[in-house]
Chains A and B, each alone.
Chain A
Amino acid sequence: MSTADVTATGDVLGDTEHVEPRGRLSRFGEIPVHISLLIVGLIVAMPIIIALFMSFTPLPEIVGRANPKLLPDTWTLENYDKAWTASPFPRYVLNSFVQTGFITLGQVLFSVLAGYAFAMFDFRFKNALFAMVIGSLIIPFELTFIPNFLLISDLGWANTYQGLVVPFLASAFGVFMLRQFFMSIPRDLYEAAKIDGASDWFYLWRVMVPLSKGAISAFTIFAFLGAWNQYLWPLVITNEESMRTAQIGIRFFLVNQERATDWGAIMAGAMIVMIPTLVVFIVAQRQLVKGIAMSGLKG
């Protein structure tokens, strides 16, 4: 732990001008890193790659082969056609965007606020309140599902965007995650800012948030994914076609209980609903990379 101790008291605010920030492992050269990452990446992505090719394979070819093959013999777009037309998919995707957009916005905003309070302030009942946040993290959804359904129905919010969004506007996970990251920003910085007369509010948005861009982007991805991949709640809270979400469209293909599974269409649907999440991911990933440049308190 001696290094860590040095770290804690170390020259965190020192001159960083001549540091090449990206030279951490450079002694090894890039080649071994490339090779390891390529191997790991291919292994991890293989199931998705299989799914991608399967989405272009006609069903009889998928199910009729004793020895599975990666590439289709004949390429087809039929599966995409099936997945897209089996339900009012464009409408579902739009609903998913609205639902996911609001949930993500709410969760990120509220988690930043609450995470900041838990990380930086002393206040009465702090530990008890934090325990309550963690407590809500461990509650299985089954426990809250039915009472929430009744509540939303009582409010007349079934088949509305409010019904899809409001119960999920806060995220205990987000509060916990951002608190952890905010706590890893040196407190000296906060004290220094206070000395300079900055308000808590100003410090949060002008210092804390920019410094934590990586963590906030990461949480944005999770909040988006969590909302995007919801299934059971949207299914039960909406019973009109016009309010359904994209995951429900996908499950159209999974619930054929007494019939052959239409693998190709499932995979095509999976690919379609993956695209928005991939886009969000790629955009947010840039932020993750920027996060690197911003870290180390060079600003």
Chain B
Amino acid sequence: MKRFSSMIGLLLAFALIAAACGGDDDETTETTAGGDATETTAAASGEVIEIEFWHAMADDLGAVVDSLVGQYNASQDAVVVNATFQGSYDDTYNAFLAGLSADTAPNIIQNFDLAAQTMFDTGALVPAHELMAAGEAESFLAAPRDYYSDETGMVAMAFNSSTPIVYYNSEMFDAAGLDAPATDWTFSDFLDTCDALEASGVTNCVTFGTVGWFFEQILANSGGLYFNNDNGRTARATEVAFNSGQGVEVFEFLTGLIADGHAPSLGNTWSDTDSVFFAGEAAMIFDSTSGARGMQENSTFDVKTAYIPHSDSSERNGVVIGGAALWLIDSDDAATNQAAWDFMSFMTNEAPQIEWHTGTGYFPVLASLQTDPPAELQTFWDENPNFRTAIDQLASTDTLNADGSTNYAVLGGRAGPFPEIRRIIVEAYSEVLDGGKTAQEALDAAAEKANQALTDYNELVDS
């Protein structure tokens, strides 16, 4: 950083000029006032450890975060957590990466699922297992625990975990004489449902964005791997595996829904699909569990939920958890790290977990809440069955194969350039829908790009 120091002199000289120029200006007073205000709030009493926590939870989700942080701060005197919203996941990640370079990173950051490998590779973390009590990891549900674990143990703490579910307009299902979809339904079952719905006059059977997530999830549900080396779980992923077997079948199904007119072509979106569903222009929508509350509140009809389908040639496997986790950034100070961890453990206590779940739709990661739910939670589920679907879908996921080995398909892929590869899949949709390629051709082309990205990344990290 020495190279900057020569410039500082120049800058200071300039700052003086600027200060002189702005001397008469009203705004200078505001600057000073603003600066003072900041300092006053920051100047807490001496012994307290301050923990910076950056998150990506907007508006009402953010409000729940703030409420939990407030409860934590009120619950003890030793630690003060400052929770700051940093924008979207990408914004938060950008701020974090920049902060790493400049030594201004926070103590805790919420970062999205696909960044997991890169987070491991930063070497800037304190893995959760180092601070956990022995056996504490067992108190978490297997899926969120294992998703963020390496060979030694849990690295990050699943915070907002979600899975995809199918929301449907139950009035349209009734009108078409359809029952609720089975928990285990294949692509053919799905298409039969579409035919029945469309015969009853529904404009579109389903609506979904061509985001990478649904491909990943339905692939997992069909038992297909995304990456080699057991989805990148037993060694670094060096190639993608989605362009053969289940991957092609799943991609044909998804692109086919749009190509055959069962779903409107809305592109890579989370919001335009909502509008279509709410307007009654589609009977079903693929979306995240985290949207459950919004779906209920903003629709004028009765919304129900179902599991996602799987390919005809497979058994139902289950889903991978999505969402984001809390990562503890090493501050080089044991007491600070411990304080940060104290807050993270607080967030996994029963009461905060219940508040988080009922307030947002992200599901609780504490195993005890599912095996032995407190009465208030049970009542909530009885009143809001849609919140229950995702939990059941995840609970019934086959984390082990029939022979007792790990089912890596539902553990989810892990690779450094995963976010980049997800974009490549989004492009592949369009290659099929608008570029005249078959699903196989599009996935092969995608695989070639993805493999290059994997090679580049791995070479760099191992160099």
Contact = CB atoms under 8 A, between A and B. Distances in A.
User: Is A–B contact present in the complex under a CB 8 A cutoff?
Assistant: yes
Contacts of A65: 279
B95 A235 contact: yes
A158 interface: yes
Nearest to B103: A153
Given A258-B290, A260-B274, A236 B98 contact: yes
B98 to A, nearest CB: 5
B88 interface: yes
B102 to A, nearest CB: 3
A31 interface: no
A94 B30 CA distance: 9
B22 A102 contact: yes
Interface in B258-310: 270-271, 274-275, 278-281, 287-288, 290-291, 294-295, 297-300
B58 A255 contact: yes
A97 B84 CA distance: 22
B101 A150 contact: yes
A86 interface: yes
B299 A98 contact: no
Contacts of B52: 239
Contacts of B56: 255
A151 interface: yes
B54 A239 contact: yes
Contacts of A162: 15
What secondary structure prevails in chain B residues at the interface with A?
helix
B31 interface: yes
Interface stretch (A38-46, A199-207, A217-225, A246-254): A246-254
Contacts of A150: 1, 4, 98, 101-102
B187 interface: no
Given A154-B4, A166-B11, A260-B271, A149 B102 contact: yes
B91 A255 contact: yes
Contacts of B335: none
Contact of B295 (A235, A242, A248, A260): A260
Interface in A162-205: 162, 166, 169
Contacts of B294: 259-260
Interface residues of A, number: 54
A162 B28 CA distance: 11
Contacts of B31: 98, 161
A63 interface: yes
Given A98-B31, A257-B270, A239 B95 contact: yes
Interface string A64-85: 1110000000000000001000
A215 interface: no
Contacts of B22: 102, 105
A271 interface: no
B27 interface: yes
B86 to A, nearest CB: 7
Nearest to A145: B98
B7 A261 contact: no
A240 interface: yes
A239 B86 contact: yes
Nearest to A254: B88
B371 interface: no
A95 B38 CA distance: 12
B95 A64 contact: no
Contacts of A241: 84
A33 interface: no
Contacts of B323: 258
Interface in B84-98: 84-89, 91, 94-95, 98
Contacts of A229: none
A148 to B, nearest CB: 10
A242 B41 contact: yes
Given A153-B102, A159-B38, A255-B58, A63 B298 contact: yes
Nearest to A146: B98
Nearest to A100: B27
B78 interface: no
A95 B88 CA distance: 21
Contact of B298 (A64, A82, A97): A64
A59 B87 contact: no
A6 interface: no
Interface in A69-122: 82, 86-87, 94-95, 97-98, 101-102, 105-106, 109
B38 A242 contact: yes
B280 A60 contact: no
A264 B240 CA distance: 41
A161 B19 CA distance: 12
Interface of A: 59-60, 63-66, 82, 86-87, 94-95, 97-98, 101-102, 105-106, 109, 146, 149-151, 153-155, 158-162, 166, 169, 232, 235-236, 239-243, 248, 251-262, 265
Interface of B: 1, 4, 7-8, 11, 14-15, 18, 21-22, 25, 27, 30-31, 34-35, 37-38, 41, 52, 54, 56, 58-59, 61-62, 82, 84-89, 91, 94-95, 98-99, 101-104, 106, 162, 270-271, 274-275, 278-281, 287-288, 290-291, 294-295, 297-300, 323
5 contacts: A60-B299, A87-B85, A255-B56, A255-B58, A257-B88
6 nearest A-B residue pairs (beta carbon): A153-B102, A261-B271, A255-B88, A63-B278, A260-B294, A258-B288
Given A66-B279, A146-B98, 16 more contacts: A64-B299, A94-B34, A98-B30, A109-B21, A149-B98, A161-B34, A166-B18, A239-B86, A241-B84, A242-B41, A251-B91, A252-B58, A255-B88, A260-B291, A260-B295, A262-B59
